[in-house]
Chain A
Amino acid sequence: MKDRIQKVSDRIKKTVNDPLQMRIVGNDFKNILLTIFKYVILIGVSYVILAPVIGMFVNSIKSDADAFNPMVFILPAHPTLEKYALAIKRLDYWTTAVRTLVYTVTITLVQLFICSMVGYGFARFEFPLKKLLFGCVILTIVIPSHTIMLPLYMTFKSFDPFGIGKMLTGTPGLMGTVIPMYVMTFLGAGLRSGLFIYIFIQFFRGLPKEIEEAAFVDGAGMFYTYFRIMLVNAMPAVITVTVFSIVWQFNDVFYAKLFLIPDNVVISKRIASLQGIIANEDQILSLTLQELYRDAGAILVIVPVVIIYLSLQKYFIEGVERSGIVG
């Protein structure tokens, strides 16, 4: 035993006396400290981001007894899923979620098609006034959408081609249907379409021209070249836009409120009234308990987007890095 201590202290003495050894030890020490510091910051910030989600999740699995028990912190004593059961029933969850997803995904497909087409047009063709029109694309990114909110409301309120709106809702105008959102997306003015067009322009610019020339020589038409050759090569940009579009469209309340889209189509609107419905229909009058149901509903609403995001996340961050979103 004594021997070994002697050995170790000898080695320490040797290292301390040798300046080169000392510097290596010092560097190691510094690196370890820096790494610890880095992880502390990362974990801290991650906690700030995750805290509300963790809080909501914990609340949502608390039982009634846990809610009033001051000893319960983070880990509920009697975890239960009954809050979810009622929230699913009152939200009409499965039907609404499926409708929302269909709405979101179709809008995203339109978004992808239109924005990539316009982006390709800007990136590859020369025509007069191109610079000016490109400036207008930037303008649509910069202009806050509330500037154009009122005229849009007025337009779609009285706009009723072939009486479609009257047929569907009984009143003239397209308010209260999802049609305005589709119309706007089809005409490249949907939710943040400007940004998506910009992403596609930047990406197509970075692709080599040879592929298209080869396709052209082989007799492919311009539209065919775009759809079957360029779009396939633009996968990183396509994934980036898909994720952004799905997430933003799913969470959007601005246009949903503006166009009075009914809340059985957009779950993000429906969740707002969940607490009130539960209070009235189920006679749960304690605010503390109502909040538990509300949190269960919130978790239910974010689950689909989180799943979509996590499954595309790996491609997504690589995609952003390569899609030239940075210009």
Chain B
Amino acid sequence: MKKKKRKLSLSTKRMIMGYIFIMPWFVGFAIFYVRSIILTGQFSLSKLTVDANVGGYSLEYVGLKNFVYAFREHGSFKQILTTSIGNMLIDVPLITFFSLFMAMLLNKKFPGRAVFRAIFFLPVILNSGAIAAMMDLAETMMNGGISATTAEVSGGTSELAFDIEYLVDMFINLGIPSSVLEYLSSAVGRINDIIKASGIQIIIFIAALQSIPSSMYEVAKIEGATAYETFWKVTFPMVMPHIITNVVYTIVDSFTNSEVVDLAYTTALSEFNYGLSSVFSIVSSVVTCSILAIIVVLIQRRTFYYN
């Protein structure tokens, strides 16, 4: 004989409260993410025409035509996509190690630490959107588009060219493989971008370094480990899980600021080719997500979890 409870039990009550607490996010997720992703997929498979009078739109199914166009005929998409991916693959390890190194420098107590910490986070404020966009737009508007910017770029590099080429020659003579050299020289060339992109990563690593128990360093010291050994046997394994966080953040960040996004944006809002723009978005998102998945799996296999 079952007696139905008139009052809800505490756990059921808490369950309902839990749903109420996450409700705003869930509605937003359903409307803005799930629905949008489905719609983007639909747009990419069709030709979209906007009805001017009501602000609505109509779709005409065209199959894979947009995809074929993007890959076979579009002038710059493939090139922009591959350069974006290439830049990202170069940047990720550099940013990760640079920020780890900087975090280790900033983690120790020394006079002026607060000032340096404040400065190192400044790029997050200065880098994003507004100022960069202003510079770009003002330059293209006033100087007559691409020709002016390329002239400026080549002017900028010629100043540096002497040093870099001299060093490259020297290292080639020393017998260092040219692929390594190419990587290093491109790294030196983009040191500016790397420093600017690693603000948040440095902070994440500082937090990670603070969470390493100091007893581990004491043990290492007693056992007679050198600073080098301590780094590879204690510090590095302990921050390994945060390397994943940082890599994920770096990849997502570099893709949101990449030229593919600009291309998708202009294709949609200046050329009104919504189908093609959706193709660009989808292809680049799929590429990002798969790169992300591959890298995370690769790192995770070697990751050591303390807890």
Contacts and interface: CB of A to CB of B under 8 A. Distances in A.
Given A118-B25, A321-B210, A147 B282 contact: yes
Interface string A119-148: 011101111101001001101111111111
A9 interface: no
Nearest to A120: B21
A97 to B, nearest CB: 13
Contacts of A302: 125-126, 131
B142 A126 contact: no
A96 to B, nearest CB: 13
Contact of A49 (B106, B122, B288): B122
A302 to B, nearest CB: 6
Given A144-B288, A326-B211, A187 B137 contact: no
Contact of A148 (B20, B33, B245): B33
Interface in B1-47: 11, 14-15, 17-22, 24-29, 31-33, 35-37, 39-40, 43
Interface stretch (B70-78, B155-163, B171-179, B200-208): B200-208
Contacts of B184: none
Interface string A182-223: 001011110001000100000000000000000000000010
Interface in B160-194: 191-192
Interface residues of B, number: 90
Contacts of B260: 146
B22 A121 contact: yes
B126 A189 contact: no
A121 B24 CA distance: 11
Of the candidates A136, A189, A327, the one having the most CB atoms from chain B within 10 angstroms of its own CB is A189
Contacts of A251: 125, 128-131
A321 B207 contact: yes
Contact of A173 (B20, B55, B133, B191): B55
Interface in A155-199: 155, 157-158, 171-173, 184, 186-189, 193, 197
Given A150-B274, A188-B25, A251-B128, A287 B142 contact: yes
B119 interface: yes
A136 B268 contact: no
A66 to B, nearest CB: 20
Of the candidates A154, A197, A320, the one having the most CB atoms from chain B within 10 angstroms of its own CB is A154
A46 interface: yes
B195 to A, nearest CB: 5
A290 B129 contact: no
A276 B138 CA distance: 8
Contacts of B146: none
Interface residue tally on A, bucketed by range: 35 or more
Contact of B24 (A126, A188, A279): A188
Interface stretch (B89-97, B110-118, B216-224): B110-118
A125 B18 contact: yes
Contact of B32 (A53, A133, A148): A148
B131 A325 contact: no
A41 B57 CA distance: 56
Interface stretch (A17-25, A57-65, A80-88, A305-313): A305-313
A325 B211 CA distance: 12
Contacts of A314: 114
A247 B125 contact: yes
Of the candidates B137, B241, B274, the one having the most CB atoms from chain A within 10 angstroms of its own CB is B137
Contacts of B14: 125-126, 222
Interface of B: 11, 14-15, 17-22, 24-29, 31-33, 35-37, 39-40, 43, 54-57, 102, 105-106, 110, 114, 116-126, 128-131, 133-135, 137-138, 141-143, 191-192, 195-196, 203-204, 206-208, 210-211, 241-242, 245, 248, 252, 255-256, 260-261, 264-265, 268-269, 274, 277-278, 281-282, 284-285, 288-289, 292
18 contacts: A41-B105, A121-B21, A122-B21, A124-B18, A127-B19, A143-B285, A144-B261, A149-B265, A173-B55, A186-B28, A193-B28, A222-B17, A251-B125, A251-B131, A272-B137, A275-B138, A313-B121, A321-B207
Given A142-B252, A188-B28, 15 more contacts: A41-B105, A46-B120, A121-B19, A143-B285, A149-B265, A150-B40, A152-B32, A188-B25, A254-B256, A272-B138, A309-B125, A317-B206, A320-B206, A325-B204, A325-B207
Interface of A: 35, 38, 41-42, 45-46, 48-50, 52-53, 114, 117-118, 120-122, 124-128, 130, 133, 136-137, 139-155, 157-158, 171-173, 184, 186-189, 193, 197, 222, 226, 247-248, 250-254, 257-258, 267-268, 271-276, 279, 287, 290, 294, 297-298, 301-302, 305-306, 309-310, 313-314, 317, 320-321, 325-327
